[in-house]
């Protein structure tokens, strides 16, 4: 049997290689589109309760260092009256706790507070909430993963890293699960407390 390739054979090989390359180039954006898609259906009851931040990334590099300096952070959702919910957050920085709370109304898979549009994103983590904060009309994006657990499985963290990469954001900061959380504030009618209003800490 001859090992010499004919022009027809070479053309067939090149065509197969080209098709493979085209398939891969089409798969990548489709995968990213799927990875960072907003939640199709949001169950308000799934939101309720307190979660700790396990990882996060910001599009604005100077604020990444501020994020890494945080000891811990939490979010909490609980029902208020009618269709209104209370969204509260805490942050421990330099052994001091900062709190802020808002009345919010969910609109599909998103809500707005303080001119920040927040969208819930699909996540493979069963007890997590993944939130994308669109700050200053898209000038900055903050991408935070919260969980009822302080530490996730490696696969869950890797999935989050892939989502961050799809958004062309810096590699995420992973929080230290041994650091203390702020004590939980009691529910109150929030008049957006101002302890966390400094630029870069608010979200």
Q: pLDDT tens-digit profile of 18-69? A: 444 444 444 344 489 999 999 988 888 889 999 999 999 999 999 999 999 9
Query: Can you say whether residue 135 is alpha, beta or left, with left for phi > 0 and alpha for psi between -120 and 50 degrees?
Result: beta
Burial class (CB in 10 A: 0-12, 13-18, 19+), 58: buried
Q: Per-residue confidence at 13, pLDDT binned at 50, 70, 90?
A: very low
* Residue-wise pLDDT tens digits, 141-161: 999 999 999 999 999 999 999
Tell me how far the alpha carbon of residue 7 is from its chain's centroid.
52
Over 70: is that where the pLDDT of 11 sits?
no
> What is the pLDDT, as a whole number, of residue 186?
59
* pLDDT over threshold 60, residue 96: yes
Q: Are 145 and 36 in contact (CB under 8 A)?
A: no
């Amino acid at each position: 049997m001859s090992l010499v390739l004919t022009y027809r054979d070479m053309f067939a090989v090149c065509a197969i290689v080209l098709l493979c390359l085209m398939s891969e180039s089409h798969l990548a954006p489709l995968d990213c589109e799927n990875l960072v898609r907003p939640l199709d259906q949001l169950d308000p009851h799934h939101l309720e309760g307190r979660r700790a931040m396990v990882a996060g990334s910001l599009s604005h590099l100077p604020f990444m260092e501020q994020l890494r300096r945080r000891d811990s952070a939490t979010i909490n959702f609980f029902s208020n009256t009618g269709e209104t919910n209370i969204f509260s957050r805490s942050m421990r920085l330099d052994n001091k706790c900062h709190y802020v709370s808002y009345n919010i109304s969910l609109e599909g898979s998103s809500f707005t507070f303080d001119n920040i549009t927040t969208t819930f994103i699909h996540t493979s983590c069963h007890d997590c909430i993944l939130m994308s904060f669109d700050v200053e009309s898209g000038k900055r994006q903050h991408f935070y993963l919260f969980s009822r657990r302080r530490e996730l499985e490696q696969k869950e963290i890797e999935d989050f890293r892939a989502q961050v990469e799809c958004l062309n954001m810096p590699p995420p900061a992973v929080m230290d699960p041994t650091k203390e959380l702020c004590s939980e504030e009691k529910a109150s009618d929030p008049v957006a407390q101002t302890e966390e209003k400094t630029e870069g800490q608010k979200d």
